[in-house]
Amino acid sequence: MSDKRLTFKEMCAKYDVTPRTLRYYEYIELLQPDREGRSRFYGAREQARMVLILRGRKFGFQLEDIRQWLLIYEKEGNEAQMRTFVDMADRQMLELQEQQRQLQEAMDSLKSLRDQTAADIT
């Protein structure tokens, strides 16, 4: 991770997030930038956390779960955080599998109804 500190605007651009999103992540204590007057600066730690936050969101984790997971590193260290991640990932994969099943069921029903309707109009 780069040692370069990013400004608020640079952080938004680098991670393709809106200013509102970045401020919200700070508000819920996912990020804690250095402050110099009214300016915010994001060092290597905050940039690494942002990568983890965005990865967690991509996989469908809730922000509060991500926040709690990040706190584990600070309180219990890397190994405890990795063990927790494995548990979280197992639960999330089950949830995604269920969503996938429901989506496939909806697609099958829609296709069946579409095919029946198409047959009725020909």
Q: Can you give the pLDDT at residue 122?
A: 82
Are 3 and 52 in a shared domain?
A: yes
pTM score: 0.82
Are 91 and 45 in a shared domain?
A: no
* Tokens, residue 46: 């905050």
Identify the residue whose tokens are 């069946």: 112
Mean pLDDT of 58-87: 94
Last residue of one domain, picked from the residues 58, 91, 106: 58
Is residue 104 domain-resident?
A: yes
The conformation of residue 6, written as its DSSP 8-state character, comes to E
pLDDT for 11-66, tens place per residue? 999 999 999 999 999 999 999 999 999 999 999 999 999 999 999 999 999 999 99
Are 33 and 83 in a shared domain?
A: no
Identify the residue whose tokens are 């600070």: 74
CB-CB neighbours of 3 under 10 Å: 7
Beta-bridge mates of residue 40: 35
With a pLDDT cut of 90, the percent of the chain lying above it is 95
Q: 86: domain range?
A: 78-122
Average pLDDT of the residues of the chain: 95
What is the Cα–Cα distance from 33 to 7, expressed in whole angstroms? 9
